[in-house]
Structure 1
Amino acid sequence: MPRYAFTVIIGADAPAEPYIRSLDDADAAWEAARAMIVDLMATSADPRLLSASMVVTDEADEIVFEFPFSEALNLPAGGSGPVH
């Protein structure tokens, strides 16, 4: 199962270490990123999160996708993401 690293980027900073998860594919990584973003937005009062992005990389440290937090707010619950 592929491993993906999820890193929150605020401006030019990555305030925490990446979160690593083994998932079936990039679509599952997209769903996981969306869930993490929604959870972070719900539990944090940090206004900088509105301009943050989640960068997801694969085991080769290649960027799979970048997910702006603001886009996660515009998706309906259970909304489908990109097909990879």
Structure 2
Amino acid sequence: MPRYFFHTHIGDDVVVDPDGRDLASPDAAWTAAQILAQQLLQGADSDPQLLRAVLFVEDETGEIVLEFPLSEALGIEPVPDPTDGTRH
């Protein structure tokens, strides 16, 4: 069974998942990313940066198989970073 690693990127900071999880497929990894995003967002009131965070899911070869913005778990568009370009 393939192993997937769920790395959380918040701006320039990265929280690395050193252990990963054995999952049956990339679809199972997507579901796990969605659940993890929902769990991380439960405390988003205390850290609004989490709304800009993205889970990068890698397989055991180091290939990124998906990117999952945490805001997607809420069904909203990602919050733009005010330091990243112009605002309209």
Corresponding residue of 1:80: none
Structure 1 regions of 5+ residues with no counterpart?
76-84
RMSD: 1.4
* Number of equivalent positions: 74
Give me the TM-score of the superposition, normalised by structure 2.
0.78
**Structure 1 position 43, deviation (Å):** 3.2
Give me the TM-score of the superposition, normalised by structure 1.
0.82
User: Which consecutive aligned stretches of 4+ in structure 1 deviate over 4 angstroms post-superposition?
Assistant: none
Equivalences for residues 1-84 of structure 1 within 5 A: 1-14=1-14, 16-18=15-17, 19-44=19-44, 45-74=46-75
Quick one: distance in 1 between partners of 2:49 and 2:4? 24
Q: Which has the larger radius of gyration?
A: 2
Same amino acid, percent of matched pairs: 47
Structure 2 regions of 5+ residues with no counterpart?
77-88
